[in-house]
Amino acid sequence: MIITIIINDPPYGTEKAYNAFRLALALLKDEAVELRIMLMQDAVFCALKGQDTPNGYYNLERMLKRISEESTVRACITCMKARGLKEEHFLEGIKAGDMGLLAEWVKESDRIVDF
């Protein structure tokens, strides 16, 4: 089963990205799931390396690193450019993607979840 998760909110300030990553980690426990994640809008900041959060707070960099080892994660290239970000700012394995790629994912997916 192919599941696509689209995340729009920033990594901190709301818990939508956090909950999306929690769902992703739970889905990855099922070997039958092929997971794809598209980071859109301010969610592209979730992929930044070097996040330093206070002890006791969730760290999306650590969560996303685990997720990206077992799934495909892309960041919207238009959203990246609008925020002055490049792939070199991101965790290893996270690449840019465009709306054409997301359209293909949507057509191929069995389920789509939007945060």
Q: What is the largest CA-CA distance in the chain?
A: 41
Domain containing residue 19: CATH number: 3.40.1260.10
Q: What is the pLDDT of residue 54?
A: 77
Q: What is the pLDDT of residue 43?
A: 98
Q: What is the pLDDT of residue 62?
A: 93
Q: What is the pLDDT of residue 57?
A: 80
CA atoms 100, 101, 105, 108: torsion sign: positive
Q: What is the pLDDT of residue 4?
A: 98
| Dist. CA 28–CA 94, nearest whole Å | 17
Q: What is the pLDDT of residue 53?
A: 86
Q: Is 97 left (phi over 0), alpha (psi -120 to 50) or beta?
A: beta
pLDDT truncated to tens, each residue of the chain (115 aa)?
999 999 999 999 899 999 999 999 999 999 999 999 999 999 999 999 999 987 878 899 999 999 999 999 999 999 999 999 999 999 999 999 999 999 999 999 999 999 9
Q: What is the pLDDT of residue 34?
A: 98
Boundaries of domain holding 104: 2-114
Tally of domains in the chain: 1
